[in-house]
């Protein structure tokens, strides 16, 4: 199985941005942790992070041609605003799990809105880095049943 781990704006600033919310570990730490976990689960992972909405849409479309089996996706702030990202996930029909480090339901009101949710097979939030490994488990289970 080949998974894409896709991260949106400001996730490259982990460790610097609001450490009380997002923790002190960096984006590289996140990549390392997911890579290690993927090895134990026997899945191949590739990573992409961008601060630009269109670049994220391009990455989702690339995943289609690369025959990616599943997407673990933290669209970050674009979760709450982007119809383009929702449409891209719908367009490629690749099982996608929406992920957030923080508990988006217990923060600002606007963070409760998620455009991508209607295209995602599931959503995990509030578990820090473990949100990503939980999402990986969900995708593996989902694809096993196919």
Interface residues with ligand DQA (CB under 6 A)? 10, 74, 76-77, 79, 100-102, 104, 111
Beginning with the edge strand found earlier in the chain, give each strand of the sheet holding 96-100 in spatial order: 44-49, 2-7, 70-74, 96-100, 122-125
Distance between CA 133 and CA 129 in Å, rounded?
7
Q: Rounded to the nearest whole angstrom, what is the least distance from the CB of residue 12 to ligand DQA in the complex?
A: 11
CB of 65 to ligand DQA, least distance (A): 26
Residues in the chain: 146
Catalytic sites, residue numbers: 22, 100
Q: Which is nearer to ligand DQA, 50 or 74 (CB)?
A: 74
**Minimum CB distance to ligand DQA smaller for 79 or for 133:** 79
Nearer to ligand DQA, 39 or 55 (CB): 55
CA dihedral 99, 100, 105, 110 (to 10 degrees): -100
Q: How far apart are CA 87 and CA 54, in angstroms?
A: 12
Compute the least distance from the CB of residue 22 to ligand DQA, in Å: 7
């Amino acid at each position: 199985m080949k998974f894409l781990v896709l991260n949106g704006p400001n996730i490259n600033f982990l460790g610097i941005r609001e450490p009380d919310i997002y923790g002190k570990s960096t984006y590289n730490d996140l990549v390392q942790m997911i890579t290690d976990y993927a090895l134990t689960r026997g899945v191949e992972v590739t990573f992409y992070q961008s601060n630009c909405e269109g670049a994220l849409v391009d990455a989702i479309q690339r995943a289609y041609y690369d025959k990616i089996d599943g997407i673990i996706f933290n669209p970050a702030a674009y979760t709450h605003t982007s119809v383009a990202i929702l449409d891209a996930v719908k367009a490629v029909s690749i099982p996608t799990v929406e992920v957030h480090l923080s508990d988006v339901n217990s923060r600002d009101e606007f963070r409760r809105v998620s455009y991508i949710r209607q295209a995602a097979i599931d959503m995990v939030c509030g578990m820090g880095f473990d949100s990503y490994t939980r999402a990986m488990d969900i995708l593996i289970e989902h694809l096993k049943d196919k």
